[in-house]
Amino acid sequence: MVTPAPLLLRGRIFDASRPAVMAIVNRTRDSFYAGNRHHDDESAFTAVESALTDGADIIDVGGVRAGQEGETVSIEQEIDRVVPFLIETRRRHPEVILSLDTWRAPVASAAAEAGLDLVNDTWAGHDPQLVEVAARIGAGIVCSHSGGLPPRTDPVDVHYAHDGEPEDEALLSDVRRVLTAGAHRALSVGIPRDRILLDPTLDFGKTTAHSLVLLRNTSDLVDLGFPVLQAISRKDFVGESLDLPADERLEGSLAATAIAAWQGATVFRTHDVRATRRVLDMVATIRGDRPPVRQERGVSGSA
Protein backbone atom coordinates (compact mmCIF):
# COMPACT_ATOMS: atom_id res chain seq x y z
CA MET A 1 0.00 0.00 0.00
CA VAL A 2 1.14 3.52 -0.82
CA THR A 3 1.50 6.05 1.98
CA PRO A 4 0.07 9.36 0.73
CA ALA A 5 1.64 12.75 1.27
CA PRO A 6 -0.31 14.76 3.87
CA LEU A 7 -2.54 17.71 3.04
CA LEU A 8 -2.56 20.68 5.43
CA LEU A 9 -5.43 23.18 5.26
CA ARG A 10 -6.52 25.60 8.00
CA GLY A 11 -4.36 23.75 10.51
CA ARG A 12 -5.95 20.37 9.80
CA ILE A 13 -3.98 17.42 8.47
CA PHE A 14 -5.53 14.93 6.06
CA ASP A 15 -3.74 11.67 5.32
CA ALA A 16 -4.33 7.93 5.09
CA SER A 17 -5.89 7.86 8.56
CA ARG A 18 -8.29 10.70 7.76
CA PRO A 19 -8.94 11.29 4.05
CA ALA A 20 -10.92 14.46 3.39
CA VAL A 21 -14.47 14.62 2.07
CA MET A 22 -14.96 17.63 -0.21
CA ALA A 23 -18.65 18.47 -0.47
CA ILE A 24 -19.87 19.94 -3.76
CA VAL A 25 -22.11 23.00 -3.55
CA ASN A 26 -23.00 24.20 -7.04
CA ARG A 27 -24.45 27.73 -7.30
CA THR A 28 -25.93 26.80 -10.66
CA ARG A 29 -29.25 25.99 -12.28
CA ASP A 30 -27.76 23.52 -14.74
CA SER A 31 -25.38 21.15 -12.93
CA PHE A 32 -25.34 17.73 -14.61
CA TYR A 33 -26.67 16.23 -11.36
CA ALA A 34 -30.02 17.78 -10.50
CA GLY A 35 -29.59 16.91 -6.82
CA ASN A 36 -26.84 19.51 -6.48
CA ARG A 37 -28.29 22.64 -8.03
CA HIS A 38 -28.29 25.39 -5.43
CA HIS A 39 -28.74 28.63 -7.33
CA ASP A 40 -30.82 30.25 -4.59
CA ASP A 41 -29.14 31.20 -1.30
CA GLU A 42 -31.48 29.30 1.00
CA SER A 43 -30.89 26.02 -0.81
CA ALA A 44 -27.12 26.59 -0.90
CA PHE A 45 -26.81 27.40 2.81
CA THR A 46 -28.94 24.37 3.65
CA ALA A 47 -26.61 22.25 1.51
CA VAL A 48 -23.59 23.52 3.47
CA GLU A 49 -25.24 22.77 6.81
CA SER A 50 -26.21 19.29 5.69
CA ALA A 51 -22.74 18.57 4.33
CA LEU A 52 -21.04 19.61 7.56
CA THR A 53 -23.49 17.57 9.62
CA ASP A 54 -22.81 14.55 7.41
CA GLY A 55 -19.04 14.79 7.87
CA ALA A 56 -17.68 17.07 5.15
CA ASP A 57 -14.21 18.46 5.73
CA ILE A 58 -14.12 20.88 2.77
CA ILE A 59 -16.90 22.86 1.11
CA ASP A 60 -16.21 23.32 -2.62
CA VAL A 61 -18.30 26.09 -4.17
CA GLY A 62 -18.68 26.53 -7.92
CA GLY A 63 -20.67 28.93 -10.05
CA VAL A 64 -20.33 27.51 -13.57
CA ARG A 65 -21.23 24.12 -15.00
CA ALA A 66 -18.10 22.28 -16.13
CA GLY A 67 -19.42 20.94 -19.42
CA GLN A 68 -20.24 22.83 -22.59
CA GLU A 69 -23.99 22.38 -22.15
CA GLY A 70 -25.87 24.92 -20.09
CA GLU A 71 -25.87 28.67 -19.78
CA THR A 72 -23.00 31.04 -20.48
CA VAL A 73 -21.69 32.66 -17.30
CA SER A 74 -19.54 35.79 -17.40
CA ILE A 75 -16.81 36.56 -14.88
CA GLU A 76 -19.08 39.14 -13.23
CA GLN A 77 -21.95 36.66 -12.99
CA GLU A 78 -19.67 33.99 -11.54
CA ILE A 79 -18.42 36.45 -8.91
CA ASP A 80 -22.00 37.39 -8.01
CA ARG A 81 -22.91 33.73 -7.63
CA VAL A 82 -20.03 32.62 -5.44
CA VAL A 83 -18.31 35.48 -3.62
CA PRO A 84 -21.11 36.81 -1.36
CA PHE A 85 -22.04 33.20 -0.59
CA LEU A 86 -18.46 32.30 0.38
CA ILE A 87 -18.17 35.39 2.59
CA GLU A 88 -21.42 34.58 4.39
CA THR A 89 -20.45 30.92 4.75
CA ARG A 90 -17.20 32.02 6.36
CA ARG A 91 -19.14 34.26 8.75
CA ARG A 92 -21.46 31.43 9.74
CA HIS A 93 -18.69 28.82 9.94
CA PRO A 94 -15.39 30.54 10.81
CA GLU A 95 -13.39 27.29 10.90
CA VAL A 96 -14.76 25.63 7.77
CA ILE A 97 -12.31 24.82 4.98
CA LEU A 98 -13.53 26.70 1.92
CA SER A 99 -12.64 25.79 -1.65
CA LEU A 100 -13.55 27.70 -4.80
CA ASP A 101 -14.11 25.75 -8.01
CA THR A 102 -13.05 28.15 -10.77
CA TRP A 103 -10.58 28.47 -13.63
CA ARG A 104 -10.67 32.30 -13.59
CA ALA A 105 -8.12 34.36 -11.66
CA PRO A 106 -10.41 37.41 -11.20
CA VAL A 107 -13.00 35.23 -9.47
CA ALA A 108 -10.47 33.79 -7.03
CA SER A 109 -9.08 37.26 -6.38
CA ALA A 110 -12.56 38.60 -5.64
CA ALA A 111 -13.11 35.75 -3.17
CA ALA A 112 -10.03 36.57 -1.10
CA GLU A 113 -12.20 38.31 1.50
CA ALA A 114 -13.81 34.96 2.32
CA GLY A 115 -10.49 33.56 3.49
CA LEU A 116 -10.27 30.87 0.84
CA ASP A 117 -8.29 27.79 1.80
CA LEU A 118 -8.16 26.16 -1.63
CA VAL A 119 -8.59 27.07 -5.29
CA ASN A 120 -9.90 24.12 -7.28
CA ASP A 121 -8.69 24.71 -10.84
CA THR A 122 -10.31 21.96 -12.88
CA TRP A 123 -8.98 23.30 -16.21
CA ALA A 124 -5.25 22.72 -15.79
CA GLY A 125 -3.97 26.28 -15.52
CA HIS A 126 -5.94 27.66 -18.48
CA ASP A 127 -5.62 31.03 -16.73
CA PRO A 128 -1.91 31.11 -15.82
CA GLN A 129 -2.53 33.85 -13.25
CA LEU A 130 -4.86 31.69 -11.16
CA VAL A 131 -2.08 29.88 -9.31
CA GLU A 132 -0.43 33.24 -8.61
CA VAL A 133 -3.66 34.53 -7.09
CA ALA A 134 -3.90 31.40 -4.93
CA ALA A 135 -0.38 32.01 -3.66
CA ARG A 136 -1.06 35.69 -2.99
CA ILE A 137 -4.19 35.05 -0.93
CA GLY A 138 -2.61 32.14 0.97
CA ALA A 139 -4.72 29.39 -0.56
CA GLY A 140 -3.75 25.94 -1.72
CA ILE A 141 -4.26 24.84 -5.31
CA VAL A 142 -5.66 21.85 -7.15
CA CYS A 143 -3.54 21.00 -10.21
CA SER A 144 -5.60 19.17 -12.81
CA HIS A 145 -5.33 17.39 -16.16
CA SER A 146 -7.88 18.21 -18.85
CA GLY A 147 -6.16 16.76 -21.92
CA GLY A 148 -5.30 20.21 -23.23
CA LEU A 149 -8.93 21.21 -23.68
CA PRO A 150 -10.11 24.75 -22.88
CA PRO A 151 -12.77 25.28 -20.18
CA ARG A 152 -16.23 23.89 -20.71
CA THR A 153 -15.18 21.66 -23.60
CA ASP A 154 -16.36 18.06 -23.77
CA PRO A 155 -13.89 15.51 -25.19
CA VAL A 156 -14.30 14.23 -28.76
CA ASP A 157 -12.18 11.51 -30.42
CA VAL A 158 -9.57 11.61 -27.61
CA HIS A 159 -6.29 9.72 -28.02
CA TYR A 160 -2.99 9.93 -26.14
CA ALA A 161 -0.89 7.30 -27.90
CA HIS A 162 1.36 8.02 -30.90
CA ASP A 163 3.43 5.80 -33.21
CA GLY A 164 2.16 2.53 -31.80
CA GLU A 165 2.64 3.49 -28.15
CA PRO A 166 0.19 1.66 -25.84
CA GLU A 167 -2.73 3.98 -25.06
CA ASP A 168 -2.76 3.26 -21.31
CA GLU A 169 0.94 3.99 -20.92
CA ALA A 170 0.68 7.17 -23.00
CA LEU A 171 -2.26 8.39 -20.93
CA LEU A 172 -0.52 7.76 -17.60
CA SER A 173 2.65 9.41 -18.87
CA ASP A 174 0.77 12.51 -20.02
CA VAL A 175 -1.19 12.82 -16.77
CA ARG A 176 1.95 12.44 -14.64
CA ARG A 177 3.76 15.01 -16.79
CA VAL A 178 1.01 17.62 -16.65
CA LEU A 179 0.32 17.18 -12.94
CA THR A 180 4.02 17.34 -12.08
CA ALA A 181 4.43 20.51 -14.13
CA GLY A 182 1.42 22.07 -12.42
CA ALA A 183 2.73 21.18 -8.98
CA HIS A 184 6.18 22.60 -9.72
CA ARG A 185 4.59 25.79 -11.02
CA ALA A 186 2.67 26.08 -7.74
CA LEU A 187 5.85 25.51 -5.75
CA SER A 188 7.65 28.17 -7.79
CA VAL A 189 5.12 30.86 -6.82
CA GLY A 190 5.30 29.97 -3.14
CA ILE A 191 2.49 27.51 -2.42
CA PRO A 192 3.70 24.93 0.13
CA ARG A 193 3.93 21.30 -0.99
CA ASP A 194 1.35 20.21 1.58
CA ARG A 195 -1.23 22.58 0.06
CA ILE A 196 -0.85 21.35 -3.52
CA LEU A 197 -3.33 18.70 -4.67
CA LEU A 198 -3.07 16.61 -7.84
CA ASP A 199 -6.31 15.74 -9.62
CA PRO A 200 -6.28 13.41 -12.65
CA THR A 201 -9.67 14.96 -13.45
CA LEU A 202 -11.65 11.93 -14.55
CA ASP A 203 -13.94 12.51 -17.55
CA PHE A 204 -12.24 15.80 -18.49
CA GLY A 205 -10.46 15.27 -21.82
CA LYS A 206 -10.91 11.54 -21.37
CA THR A 207 -13.01 8.62 -22.47
CA THR A 208 -14.57 6.26 -19.96
CA ALA A 209 -11.74 3.80 -20.65
CA HIS A 210 -9.19 6.53 -19.84
CA SER A 211 -10.89 7.39 -16.55
CA LEU A 212 -10.96 3.74 -15.52
CA VAL A 213 -7.25 3.38 -16.27
CA LEU A 214 -6.45 6.40 -14.11
CA LEU A 215 -8.68 5.18 -11.31
CA ARG A 216 -7.05 1.77 -11.16
CA ASN A 217 -3.63 3.43 -11.24
CA THR A 218 -4.28 6.01 -8.51
CA SER A 219 -1.21 4.79 -6.62
CA ASP A 220 1.02 5.87 -9.53
CA LEU A 221 -0.18 9.43 -9.00
CA VAL A 222 0.19 9.21 -5.22
CA ASP A 223 3.82 8.21 -5.88
CA LEU A 224 4.44 11.69 -7.32
CA GLY A 225 4.70 12.91 -3.72
CA PHE A 226 1.72 15.26 -3.46
CA PRO A 227 -1.73 14.59 -2.00
CA VAL A 228 -4.15 13.34 -4.63
CA LEU A 229 -7.77 14.41 -5.15
CA GLN A 230 -10.23 12.11 -6.87
CA ALA A 231 -13.43 13.70 -8.21
CA ILE A 232 -15.47 10.59 -8.89
CA SER A 233 -18.99 11.36 -7.76
CA ARG A 234 -21.72 10.37 -10.25
CA LYS A 235 -19.50 11.10 -13.27
CA ASP A 236 -20.11 9.82 -16.77
CA PHE A 237 -17.47 7.09 -16.55
CA VAL A 238 -19.51 5.59 -13.70
CA GLY A 239 -22.73 5.99 -15.67
CA GLU A 240 -21.30 4.44 -18.82
CA SER A 241 -19.73 1.57 -16.86
CA LEU A 242 -23.11 0.65 -15.38
CA ASP A 243 -25.45 2.18 -18.00
CA LEU A 244 -27.10 4.40 -15.39
CA PRO A 245 -28.22 8.05 -15.26
CA ALA A 246 -26.63 10.50 -12.81
CA ASP A 247 -29.23 10.03 -10.10
CA GLU A 248 -28.56 6.26 -9.97
CA ARG A 249 -24.76 6.31 -9.82
CA LEU A 250 -24.20 6.34 -6.04
CA GLU A 251 -23.14 2.71 -5.62
CA GLY A 252 -20.77 2.85 -8.58
CA SER A 253 -19.27 6.08 -7.27
CA LEU A 254 -18.71 4.54 -3.83
CA ALA A 255 -17.09 1.43 -5.30
CA ALA A 256 -14.69 3.63 -7.26
CA THR A 257 -14.07 5.73 -4.14
CA ALA A 258 -13.05 2.65 -2.17
CA ILE A 259 -10.58 1.62 -4.90
CA ALA A 260 -8.97 5.06 -4.99
CA ALA A 261 -8.87 5.34 -1.20
CA TRP A 262 -7.16 1.97 -0.85
CA GLN A 263 -4.46 3.26 -3.21
CA GLY A 264 -3.82 6.39 -1.16
CA ALA A 265 -5.93 9.24 -2.56
CA THR A 266 -6.39 11.90 0.12
CA VAL A 267 -9.39 14.03 -0.94
CA PHE A 268 -12.70 12.93 -2.47
CA ARG A 269 -15.01 15.45 -4.09
CA THR A 270 -18.57 14.22 -3.75
CA HIS A 271 -22.27 14.98 -3.93
CA ASP A 272 -22.95 12.29 -1.29
CA VAL A 273 -21.09 13.26 1.86
CA ARG A 274 -22.36 10.81 4.48
CA ALA A 275 -21.94 7.71 2.34
CA THR A 276 -18.49 8.82 1.16
CA ARG A 277 -17.37 9.59 4.72
CA ARG A 278 -18.34 6.11 5.84
CA VAL A 279 -16.63 4.43 2.91
CA LEU A 280 -13.40 6.36 3.50
CA ASP A 281 -13.39 5.62 7.23
CA MET A 282 -13.95 1.92 6.56
CA VAL A 283 -11.19 1.74 3.96
CA ALA A 284 -8.79 3.55 6.29
CA THR A 285 -9.64 1.04 9.01
CA ILE A 286 -9.13 -1.96 6.71
CA ARG A 287 -5.79 -0.51 5.61
CA GLY A 288 -4.78 -0.27 9.27
CA ASP A 289 -4.44 3.52 9.23
CA ARG A 290 -7.49 4.15 11.45
CA PRO A 291 -8.57 2.07 14.45
CA PRO A 292 -12.16 0.88 14.82
CA VAL A 293 -14.27 3.20 16.93
CA ARG A 294 -15.23 0.25 19.15
CA GLN A 295 -13.56 -3.14 19.68
CA GLU A 296 -15.87 -5.18 21.89
CA ARG A 297 -16.64 -8.33 19.97
CA GLY A 298 -14.93 -11.35 21.49
CA VAL A 299 -13.24 -9.23 24.16
CA SER A 300 -13.33 -10.56 27.72
CA GLY A 301 -16.23 -9.08 29.67
CA SER A 302 -18.22 -8.02 26.61
CA ALA A 303 -21.76 -9.22 26.08
Q: What pLDDT shows up at residue 28?
A: 85
Secondary structure class of 184 (helix, strand, coil): helix
Q: What pLDDT shows up at residue 39?
A: 72
Residue ranges of the domains in the chain? 7-287
**Cβ-contact 191, 141 below 8 angstroms:** yes
7-287 maps to which CATH number? Answer: 3.20.20.20
DSSP 15: B
Q: Mean pLDDT in runs of 10 for the chain (303 residues)? A: 93 97 90 67 92 97 86 93 96 97 97 97 96 98 96 92 91 98 98 98 97 98 98 97 97 98 98 98 98 93 62
Phi, psi (deg, nearest 5) at residue 68: -75, -20
R_g of the chain, CA atoms, integer Å = 19
Q: What pLDDT shows up at residue 35?
A: 65
Please report how the helices 250-262 and 273-287 are oriented relative to each other, as an axis angle in degrees rounded to 10: 30
Beta-bridged to residue 100, according to DSSP, are 61, 119
Q: What pLDDT shows up at residue 34?
A: 57
Neighbours of 1 (CB within 10 A): 12
Amino acid at residue number 232: I
**Cβ-contact 62, 101 below 8 angstroms:** yes
- Pairing mode of beta strands 12-14, 7-9: antiparallel
Which ranges in 55-166 belong to alpha helices (H)? 75-92, 105-110, 130-137
Please give the C-alpha separations between residue 143 and each of 57, 140, 190, in angstroms, as whole numbers.
19, 10, 14
End-to-end CA distance of the chain: 35
Q: What pLDDT shows up at residue 302?
A: 58
* pTM of the complete model: 0.94
**Cβ-contact 12, 260 below 8 angstroms:** no
Phi, psi (deg, nearest 5) at residue 22: -105, 110
Q: What pLDDT shows up at residue 37?
A: 63
Sign of CA dihedral 110, 119, 18, 31: positive
